[in-house]
Chains A and B, each alone.
Chain A
Amino acid sequence: MHLTLEFGGGLELLLEKSTKVHKVDCQPTMDGSEGGKATMKGLLSWVKSNLIKERPEMFIKGDSVRPGVLVLINDCDWELCGGLDAELEDKDVVVFISTLHGG
C-alpha cells in the first residue's frame, strides 16, 4: 500500500534528516500480513519501527499517538474516521502535527 506521511509541528525533528514528507510503501496491518485490514493502529506501529529515529515517546504513548499530537487522514481529523481503528486505503495522505513542540 502506498501512503504519503507528513510530519509537522516539530515532529519532523524525530525523523531522519528532519524530513517532513515521506512517501512509503508499507503494509500497516497489526501482524504485517497481506490479508489483514490496514488501520491507523498498524500504521503507528510501523512508523515507530521504521521512521522514528529519536525520542519515540514524543510520538507514541501506549498504543496511540501521544496526547497533543494531532492526526489527519486526507485532511480530515482522525477522530472522525475512527481513530486507531480508521481503515487506510492506497494513496491515503496521513498528517501528524505536534502541539507539544514550539519556541
Chain B
Amino acid sequence: MQSAPSTRAGSRLCVRCGERKAALKRPKTLEQICRECFYVVFEDEIHRTIVDNCLFKPGERVAIGASGGKDSTVLAYVLSELNNRHKYGLDLFLLSIDEGITGYRDDSLETVKRNEIQYGLPLKIVSYKDLYDWTMDDIVKAIGLKNNCTFCGVFRRQALDRGAALLKVDKIVTGHNADDIAETVLLNILRGDIARLSRCTFITTGEDGPIPRCKPFKYTYEKEIVMYAYFKKLDYFSTECIYSPNAYRGFAREFIKDLERMRPRAILDIITSGENFRISTTTKMPEQGTCERCGYISSQKLCKACVLLDGLNRGLPKLGIGRTTKGGAGADGNGERPGKQKERNRSSLQGKHGNFDF
C-alpha cells in the first residue's frame, strides 16, 4: 500500500487500545476508536445505563418492542448479549405490532421473524385487525393520508400494552435513542406541552400504568446504533411508512441533526435540559384514571383509542382529531407520533417546509 496522506483511513490509531486503526469518531466524546473497542464501549455504556437506573430485576419477563427497524433490532441483539454476559436473568420476548399496512409492515415483520430465529427470542405479533377490527389500510381509506398517523400512534401504544399483557411480561423495552428523546424534548417545548415535557425524558415510564416501559438506549446516539448494526451486519428494515412518506422530514428531527453536525454533544445536552425542567407545583397536571369503555389508562372518561375508534365505527373518522382533544391521555409520555403530525401542520403554516437554514 502506497504511503497515504495523513487523512487517509487507517492512519490513526484507536485512542483506547492504541493498537488498531480507528474506524469511528464517537459523536458523544469525539474519541477515535477501532471497531473492537467500539463494540466494548457501546455495549458497556448500555449495560451501565441499565444497572445505574435499575431497569430490571432477576426473573423478570421483558418484551422488546420490535418493529424490524434499526433501533429495535440492535436493542434485541444487545439486550440478549448483555442478558447472557451479565446474568440479568431475564426472559426476553419480541413483541411486534402489525398495523395492517400492505407492502410495508408485512415486509418489516419478515425481518422480525428472521430476528426471532437469529437471536432465539420468542416472537408475539399483535395486529390492529385483531384488537380494533380496523387495519391502517382501512383507516386510510376512511380518513385519507392527513391525520392517519394520529390513529396509528395512539393504537400502537395501546396495542403494545395489550400484547405485553398477553405475554404476561413485567416490562416493555423500546428502542428510543438519544436523538429521539432530544427531538421529543424540543417538540414538547415548542408545543408548550407541560405534562409531556415533565416525563418525556424519563428512562422508565408508566410505572403507575399497566406495564412499565424502559428505554435502555436513552443515552445512545443514533449514529452509533447504525454503525453498530453495520459493523455487526445486523439484519434490519429501513423503508419509511407508505402512509407518512414525509414523516421523516419533521422539522425537529432535521434541526436535531443540524445541531449534531455542529456540536454532537448537543443531543445529550438537550436531554439534560429536559431532565432539569422543573414544573411549578401549582401547575395542574392531567389526572390519570381509566377508560370507562375498555379499562385502559386515561385522563378522560374515554381513552383516546376509544374516541378514535368510536369515530371510525360511526363513519365520523375525524371525531377525536383536533384541539378539543388536546391533552387526551396516552399511556406514556412519548408523544413522538402525534407530535410529528402536529409539527407537520405547524411547519406548513409557517411556509418553511419545516426547515431552518443557518
Taking CB atoms, residues of chain A closer than 8 Å to B222 are 68, 99
Cβ proximity bits B23-35 to A, threshold 8 Å, 1 near / 0 not: 1110000001001
CB atoms of A81 and B226 under 8 A apart: no
A97 vs B229: C-alpha distance when bound (angstroms): 11
From B6-14, B75-83, B125-133, B209-217, the one touching the partner chain is B6-14
Interface residues of A in 77-93 (CB under 8 A from B): 77, 79-82, 85-87
A15 interface residue (CB < 8 Å to B):
no
- A103 touches which of B7, B231, B240 (Cβ 8 Å): B240
Number of interface residues of A (CB under 8 A): 29
B67 interface residue (CB < 8 Å to A):
yes
Cβ proximity bits A64-81 to B, threshold 8 Å, 1 near / 0 not: 001110101111110111
Q: How many A-B residue pairs have CB under 8 A?
A: 92
Cβ proximity bits B139-177 to A, threshold 8 Å, 1 near / 0 not: 000000000000000000000000000000000000000
Taking CB atoms, residues of chain A closer than 8 Å to B261 are 67
- B227 touches which of A67, A70, A73, A80 (Cβ 8 Å): A70
Q: A67-B261, A98-B238, A99-B226 known; A76 and B23 CB under 8 Å?
A: yes
Q: A80-B22, A87-B5, A87-B8 known; A103 and B239 CB under 8 Å?
A: yes
Taking CB atoms, residues of chain A closer than 8 Å to B9 are 73-76, 80-81
Taking CB atoms, residues of chain B closer than 8 Å to A35 are none
From A6-14, A22-30, A41-49, the one touching the partner chain is A6-14
CB closest residue in chain A, given B238 = A10
Number of interface residues of B (CB under 8 A): 40
A61 vs B68: C-alpha distance when bound (angstroms): 28
CB atoms of B10 and A100 under 8 A apart: no
A81 vs B257: C-alpha distance when bound (angstroms): 21
B134 interface residue (CB < 8 Å to A):
no
A18 vs B102: C-alpha distance when bound (angstroms): 19
CB closest residue in chain B, given A66 = B257
CB closest residue in chain B, given A86 = B7
Taking CB atoms, residues of chain B closer than 8 Å to A9 are 70, 226, 238
Taking CB atoms, residues of chain B closer than 8 Å to A79 are 25
A74 vs B35: C-alpha distance when bound (angstroms): 13
A38 interface residue (CB < 8 Å to B):
no
CB closest residue in chain A, given B7 = A82
CB closest residue in chain B, given A79 = B25
Interface residues of B in 202-231 (CB under 8 A from A): 222-223, 226-227, 230-231
Task: Contacts A99-B226, A103-B241 known; list 14 others, CB within 8 Å.
Answer: A8-B238, A9-B70, A10-B238, A67-B260, A68-B257, A68-B260, A76-B22, A77-B24, A79-B25, A80-B24, A81-B9, A99-B70, A99-B179, A103-B69
